[in-house]
């Protein structure tokens, strides 16, 4: 890293001059601030960071940073980031998105990104609703939530348990933060970015517009009990039985990072072409 | 070529039957001169002997060139391996060859056939008929018999012990010769009937023994010395069945000269090589027939060039992975077939909107839906041209033969980097899973690579308008031009915008950069064109001035049909389109101009290219189409028949 070669930056230096499209009071503002503070704390050079997203309110985040970014397809941020990180392991690659983007349309990629264990940081701003399409139920919405005209009787479906599913899929770093606790969130994000593998951070990020009841989350969140679990069985017990509001690093285990076959420089195409010569 | 020394005569005479091979001289191994000449066992009570067309005269050696032969069997019994060895032998005999295959979807136990055509000139078409067919067994023959057309001049070799002769063989009128393959295999080589077949069919096809043995040694080397040694014994035994043992011994000394300037390559390998030549160093893909072997070829070779391949969880992931790599500055490719291309449509649109160069190889198979995974069709042109939502200009190319896979993928990769656009390259199973002995493919024309951002005043505008529509593309890691690539419509700086003016400007930019580029002469291969017959072409008089238009893998049959028509006095030009989008309308109109009759030839149900060319207003109203769906390939004879039918039709 050439971080010593650049003047130290403040959090504000990581922000672009674009004004977010988010509603007043949206939790995502706090996530953006926590992220820029983390990047400044880690003193990462802006041009060596790429933030990748899909589609949704939270997926607008990359454009609000003064880094490289890619605002791609709904649900496909993880594979795009996978291709980038695999091709350019020198970059710090962060993926941001929401619960619909990551757990519904992109659910398969979530599983396989956990398994693949590339050195990515995946931040999911979970507000338990589709905001950009005006308030439909997401995979983390309660089955009896009846405020959407699309599912007036509720979805009737079990809630998606992001942490437990990440654990089962093989993720080695699983944390839960809260937009109302920006300092705690910054701390988690710094650990996630520094973690040498796939780091998943679920951020409870209230939607004032479509889930006004989520203002009450600040009274319901609580720190997770004890140190982060290091064995999957303990972690599974915790994740499957908690109320989904426990904050902190839930599980941390260093796993073998993704490695393709060793990449060699120096061979040339002529040697490969020679295979075809008679 | 050594003429047969010992003529083997089939007879129902009991005395000869008593000398049949397989029960006499059971000695170890095969030592020249140490064992009696293996002779075909005569089945006195066999069906074969009762067939009226079964010949009793010596096995004729087929010296005509080109010659098409087929080895057929059930999956797992080695027909395809036999084909590989025969192709290598053809190369060692100093000839060109084309090896295609037919296989069912079964992993093992289904039907499989290797079809090899060879001769002194390069071949891009399997021809009209199989001249020489050797069946290892008849178990699944019906499943591909329509792919193996036989004529009365054809010769069928089969072991009477291989099962009941299918009626379709008898009905073809082809001459039938029984060959005691299994007996020879049992005696010499632990029952590897397919290796005995290589010796038999190679001998009947007039190939030198030394070439066959060398072909086997090269093809089987990865399997170890013991396998090569056993195969050598079998091939000698098979050769001796035809030529007699004295020839086997004599031929050992005459090692044919190797044509060292030629290559032995499959279409999928050539496609992978072309991508590497063009600069691809990252591949992400999901396995799918018939594209998987392209990926399997690339997987161990990319790391040797500093690149890598990722097996993605699905095609949605694959296309987004390659977009990510290319955004990071590493040229990238994904390969798939029709069902996968359907899943990649949204990602292709993202590559268009974000102006990220990527190459998508579509090794086409029969469709729609799961269709016919193991067999070829040119039916994805509509999807490749029109499959994206929104106004999404992009490149569509198609390689014209096996070697051209290298050229076209090389060129496609360079074009995508130059133009910051996705390219869909339409190969197909008939190219991808076929092998050729061919001349080494040329490199694609050099192009300026991706235009990189340079530091400047006023900030970086990733999507700024420019004279040629191409705007400099920054690469992450470079200070000074950070930006967010955008799939939403955007302004010049990449900021999302739903304003009409921004939308129009960006649509114009993305269209303009494609049509403003000078693609040079390689947009098509034009055969017998304006330079060769300028005056006659301009008269437009029938039967002169026939113009055949085709694309992709169908070119081989069209070129061969054209050559035969020319020999019959026709004036024919062939336009084989390599660049399908953006269509080079002016150049194509000029190439067609003056033709008295136009026939579009392609392998799909309703003429997708024909309708596209009409929509683009390049065809005269009198143009006709010859289109039929796969999996049967286009044959030169049916193209000639279609041309002759044109002549009978009124021409405006």
User: From the list B260, B346, B485, which residue is nearest A278 (CB)?
Assistant: B260
Residue B227 counted as domain residue? yes
Regions in chain A scoring below 50 on pLDDT: 1, 3
Same domain, B217 and B362: no
Report CB contact under 8 Å: A87, B330: yes
| Cβ–Cβ gap B324/A85 under 8 Å | yes
So what's the ipTM on this one? 0.97
Interface test with B, best of A2, A52, A65, A87 (most B CBs within 10 A): A87
Nearest to B301 among A50, A111, A272 (CB): A272
Closest approach of B258 to chain A, Cα-based (Å): 7
Residue B161, domain member (yes or no)? yes
What CA–CA distance (Å, rounded) separates B474 from B454? 8
State both tokens at B563: 């050559």
Closest CA in chain A for residue B280 = A87
Residue carrying structure tokens 């990733």: B462
Same domain membership, residue B60 and residue B164: yes
What residue numbers bound the domain in which A84 lies?
Answer: 16-276
Cβ within 8 Å, pair A83-B260: no
| Tally of domains in chain B | 3
Q: State whether B321 and A80 contact (CB < 8 Å).
A: yes
In this structure, is residue A11 part of a structural domain? no
A109–B328 C-beta distance less than 8 A = no
CATH at A95: 3.40.50.970
How close, in Å, is residue A88 to chain B by CA atoms? 6
B305 touches chain A (CB under 8 A): yes
pLDDT above 70: percentage of residues in chain B: 85
Round the average pLDDT of chain B to a whole number and report it. Answer: 87
pLDDT at B259: 52
Q: Give me A194's structure tokens.
A: 């520094």
Give CA–CA dist A21/A95, Å, rounded. 19
- Which of A120-134, B66-80, B255-269 is predicted most confidently? A120-134
- Residue B206 binned pLDDT confidence (cut-offs 50, 70, 90): very high
Closest by CA position to B205, among listed B81, B89, B32 = B89
Buried b (16+ CB within 10 A) or exposed e, A63-82: bbbbbbbbbbbbbbbbbbbb
- Give domain status of residue A175, yes or no: yes
Residue A5 falls inside a structural domain? no
- Same-domain check for residues B203 and B290: no
- Going by DSSP bridges, is the β-strand pair B572-577/B524-527 parallel, antiparallel, or unpaired? antiparallel
User: Does position B440 have pLDDT exceeding 50, yes or no?
Assistant: yes
**Shared domain check, B408 and B342:** yes
- Is A91 in contact with B327 (Cβ distance < 8 A)? no
In chain B, residues 73-102 whose CB comes closer than 8 Å to chain A:
91-92
Interchain CB distance below 8 Å, A108 and B484:
no
Residue B308 to chain A, least CA–CA distance (Å): 7
B327 with A82: Cβ contact below 8 A: no
Measured in angstroms, the CA of B282 and the nearest CA of chain A are apart by: 7
pLDDT at residue B500 tops 60:
yes
Residues in chain A: 278
Domain boundary among B438, B461, B491: B438
Residues of chain B contacting A108 with CB distance shorter than 8 Å: 313-314, 316-317
Domain match, B202 and B280 both: no
Asked if A22 and A73 count as a contact pair (C-beta separation under 8 A), the reply is no
Q: Decide if B455 is inside a domain.
A: no
Q: Is residue B388 part of a domain?
A: yes
Q: Is the pLDDT of residue B457 over 80?
A: no
The partner residue sitting opposite A109, judged by closest CB among B317, B328, B474, is B317
Which residue, B80, B136, B146, is CA-closest to B112? B80
Same domain? B534 vs B563: yes
Interface size, chain A vs chain B, as Cβ–Cβ contacts under 8 Å: 191
Yes or no, beta carbons of A264 and B303 under 8 Å apart: yes
Contacts of residue B72, Cβ cutoff 8 Å, sequence gap at least 6: B79, B111, B112, B113, B114, B133, B134, B135, B136, B141, B144, B148
Return d(Cα A1, Cα A138) in angstroms, integer. 39
d(CA B158, CA B53) in angstroms, rounded, equals: 14
* B321 touches A at CB < 8 Å: yes
Q: Which two tokens stand for residue B595?
A: 């033709």
Which residue, of B224, B251, B278, is where some domain finishes?
B251
Residue-wise pLDDT for B328-374, tens only, equals 999 999 999 999 999 999 999 999 999 999 999 999 999 999 999 99
Q: Answer whether B281 touches A (CB < 8 Å).
A: yes
Domain end, chosen from B414, B438, B462, is at: B438
- Say if residue B431 is in the same domain as residue B537: no
Note whether B319 and B191 are same-domain residues: no
Option in B313, B326, B482 nearest A109 (CB): B313
What end-to-end distance do the CA atoms of chain A give, in Å?
A: 47
For residues B321 and B387, membership in a common domain is answered with yes
Do residues B402 and B304 share a domain?
Answer: yes
> Is B24 domain-assigned?
no
Of the listed ranges A72-81, B39-48, B254-263, B337-346, the least confidently predicted one is B39-48
Q: What integer pLDDT is reported at residue A115 of this predicted model? A: 97
Considering only alpha carbons, which residue of chain A is nearest residue B215?
A278
In a domain, B633, yes or no: yes
Interface of B with A in 207-266 (CB under 8 A): 258-265
Inter-chain touch B304–A62, beta carbons under 8 Å: no
Closest CA to A204 of A187, A220, A190: A220
| Cα B481 from chain centroid (whole Å) | 44
Strand order in the sheet with B96-103: B175-178, B150-158, B130-135, B67-74, B111-119, B96-103, B435-438, B263-266
Chain A residue numbers touching B300 (CB-CB < 8 A): 261
- Rounded to a whole number of angstroms, the distance from the CA of A185 to the nearest CA of chain B is 24
In chain B, which among 346-385 make CB contacts under 8 A with chain A?
A: 346-347, 350, 354
Using the Cβ of B483 and the Cβ atoms of chain A, whether some distance falls under 8 Å is answered with: yes
Facing residue for B282 by CB, picked from A18, A83, A272: A83
Which CATH number characterizes residue B73's domain?
A: 3.40.920.10
Domain count, chain A: 1
Range of the domain at B576: 521-648
Q: Which residue of B has its CA nearest to A111?
A: B313
Cα separation, A233 vs B158, in Å, equals 64
Query: pLDDT tens digits for B510-552?
Result: 999 999 999 999 999 997 443 434 344 444 444 458 999 999 9
| B123 close to B462: Cβ distance less than 8 angstroms | no
Which residue in chain B is spatially nearest to A270 when comparing CA positions?
B277
CA nearest to B326 within chain A: A84
- Answer yes or no: is pLDDT of B453 > 70: yes
- How many C-alpha atoms does A70 have within 13 Å on its Cβ side? 36
Tell me: the pLDDT tens digits for B82-137? 999 999 999 999 999 999 998 887 777 778 899 999 999 999 999 999 999 999 98
- Mark whether B303 and B413 lie in a shared domain: yes
Torsion angle of C-alpha atoms B378, B299, A76, B411, degrees rounded to 10: -50
Region B240-255: mean pLDDT is 72
Main-chain dihedrals φ then ψ at residue B93, nearest 5 degrees: -85, 5
CATH of the domain at B560: 3.40.50.920
Give yes or no for a contact between A164 and A152, defined as CB atoms under 8 angstroms apart. Answer: no
**Which member of A73, A264, A272 has the closest CB to residue B320?**
A73
pLDDT for res B140: 82
Residue B31 lies in a domain: no
Q: In this complex, is the C-beta atom of B490 within 8 Å of any C-beta atom belonging to chain A?
A: no
Residue B594 maps to a domain: yes
Cβ within 8 Å, pair A83-B310: yes
Do B66 and B152 belong to one domain? Answer: yes
Which residue in chain B is spatially nearest to A19 when comparing CA positions? B495
Mutation target for A interface from B261, B302, B324, B482: give the one with most A CBs within 10 A.
Answer: B324
Between the two ends of chain B, the Cα-to-Cα distance in Å is: 53
* Among chain A residues, CA nearest to B334: A83
């Amino acid at each position: 890293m050439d971080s010593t070669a650049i003047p130290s930056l403040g959090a504000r230096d990581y922000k672009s001059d674009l004004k977010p499209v988010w509603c007043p009071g949206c939790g995502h503002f706090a996530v953006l601030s926590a992220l820029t503070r983390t990047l400044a704390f880690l003193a990462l050079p802006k041009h060596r960071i790429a933030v990748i997203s899909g589609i949704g309110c939270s997926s607008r985040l990359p454009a609000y940073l003064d880094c490289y970014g890619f605002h791609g397809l709904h649900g496909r941020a993880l594979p795009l980031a996978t291709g980038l990180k695999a091709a350019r392991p020198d970059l710090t690659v962060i993926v941001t998105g929401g619960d619909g983007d990551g757990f519904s349309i992109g659910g398969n990629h979530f599983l396989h990104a956990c398994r693949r264990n590339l050195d990515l940081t995946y931040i999911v701003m979970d507000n338990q609703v589709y905001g950009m399409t005006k308030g439909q139920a997401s995979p983390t919405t309660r089955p009896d939530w009846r405020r959407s005209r699309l599912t007036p009787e509720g979805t009737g479906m079990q809630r998606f348990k992001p942490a437990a599913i990440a654990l089962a899929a093989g993720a080695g770093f699983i944390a839960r933060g809260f937009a109302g606790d920006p300092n705690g969130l910054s701390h988690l994000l710094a650990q996630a970015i520094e973690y040498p593998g796939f780091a998943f951070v679920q951020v409870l990020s209230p939607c004032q517009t479509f889930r006004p009841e989520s203002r009450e989350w600040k009274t319901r969140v609580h720190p997770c009990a004890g140190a982060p679990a290091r064995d999957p069985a303990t972690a599974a017990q915790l994740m499957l039985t908690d109320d989904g509001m426990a904050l902190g690093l839930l599980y941390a285990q260093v796993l073998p990072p993704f490695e393709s076959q060793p990449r060699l420089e120096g061979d040339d195409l002529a040697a490969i072409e020679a295979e075809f010569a008679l | 070529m050594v003429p047969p020394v010992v003529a083997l005569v089939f007879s129902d005479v009991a005395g000869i039957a008593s000398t049949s091979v397989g029960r006499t001289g059971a000695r170890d191994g095969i030592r020249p001169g140490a064992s009696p000449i293996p002779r075909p066992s005569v089945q006195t009570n066999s069906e074969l002997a009762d067939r009226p067309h079964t010949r009793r005269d010596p096995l004729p050696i087929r010296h005509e060139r080109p010659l098409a032969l087929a080895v057929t069997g059930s999956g797992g019994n080695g027909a395809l391996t036999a084909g590989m060895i025969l192709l290598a032998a053809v190369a060692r005999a100093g000839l060109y060859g084309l090896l295609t295959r037919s296989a069912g979807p079964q992993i093992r136990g289904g039907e499989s056939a290797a079809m090899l055509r060879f001769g002194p000139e390069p071949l891009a078409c399997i021809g009209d008929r199989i001249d020489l067919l050797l069946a290892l067994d008849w178990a699944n023959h019906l499943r591909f018999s329509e792919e193996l057309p036989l004529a009365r001049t054809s010769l069928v070799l089969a072991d009477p012990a291989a099962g009941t002769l299918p009626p379709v063989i008898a009905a073809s009128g082809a001459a039938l010769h029984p060959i005691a393959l299994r007996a020879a295999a049992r005696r010499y080589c632990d029952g590897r009937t397919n290796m005995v077949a290589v010796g038999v069919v190679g001998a009947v096809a007039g190939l030198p023994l030394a070439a066959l043995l060398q072909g086997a040694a090269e093809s089987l080397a990865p399997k170890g010395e013991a396998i090569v040694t056993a195969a050598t014994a079998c091939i000698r035994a098979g050769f001796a069945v035809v030529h007699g043992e004295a020839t086997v011994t004599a031929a050992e000394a005459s090692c044919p000269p190797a044509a060292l300037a030629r290559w032995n390559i499959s279409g999928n390998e050539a496609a992978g090589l072309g991508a590497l030549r063009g600069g691809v160093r990252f591949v992400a893909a999901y396995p799918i027939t018939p594209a998987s072997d392209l990926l399997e070829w690339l997987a161990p070779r990319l790391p040797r060039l500093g690149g890598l391949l990722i097996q993605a969880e699905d095609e949605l992931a694959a296309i987004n992975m390659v977009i990510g790599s290319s955004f990071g500055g590493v040229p990238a490719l994904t390969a798939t077939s029709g069902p996968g291309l359907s899943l990649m449509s949204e990602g292709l649109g993202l590559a268009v909107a974000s102006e990220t160069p990527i190459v998508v190889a579509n090794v086409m198979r029969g469709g729609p839906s799961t269709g016919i995974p193991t067999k070829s069709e040119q039916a994805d042109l509509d999807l490749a041209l029109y499959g994206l939502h929104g106004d999404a200009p992009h490149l569509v190319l198609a390689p014209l033969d096996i070697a051209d896979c290298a050229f076209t993928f090389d060129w496609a990769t360079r074009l995508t980097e130059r133009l910051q656009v996705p390219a869909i390259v339409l190969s197909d199973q008939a190219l991808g899973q076929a092998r050729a002995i061919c001349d080494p493919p040329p490199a694609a024309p050099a192009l300026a690579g991706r235009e990189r951002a340079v530091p400047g005043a006023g900030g970086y505008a990733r999507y700024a308008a420019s004279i040629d529509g191409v705007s400099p593309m920054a690469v992450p890691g470079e200070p000074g031009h950070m930006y967010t690539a955008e799939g939403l419509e955007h302004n010049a700086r990449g900021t999302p915008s739903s304003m009409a003016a921004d939308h129009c400007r960006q649509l114009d930019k993305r269209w303009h950069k494609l049509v403003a580029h000078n693609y040079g002469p390689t947009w098509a291969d034009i055969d017998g064109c304006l330079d060769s017959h300028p005056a006659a072409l301009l008269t437009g008089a029938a039967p002169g001035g026939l113009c055949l238009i085709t694309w992709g893998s169908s070119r081989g049959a069209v070129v061969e049909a054209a050559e035969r028509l020319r020999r019959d006095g026709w004036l024919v030009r062939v336009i084989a389109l390599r660049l399908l989008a953006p269509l080079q309308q002016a150049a194509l109109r000029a190439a067609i101009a003056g033709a008295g009759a136009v026939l579009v030839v392609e392998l799909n149900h309703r003429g997708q290219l024909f309708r596209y060319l009409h929509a683009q207003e390049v065809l005269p109203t009198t143009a006709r189409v010859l289109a039929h769906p796969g999996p049967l390939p286009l044959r030169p004879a049916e193209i000639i028949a279609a041309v002759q039918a044109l002549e009978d039709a009124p021409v405006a």
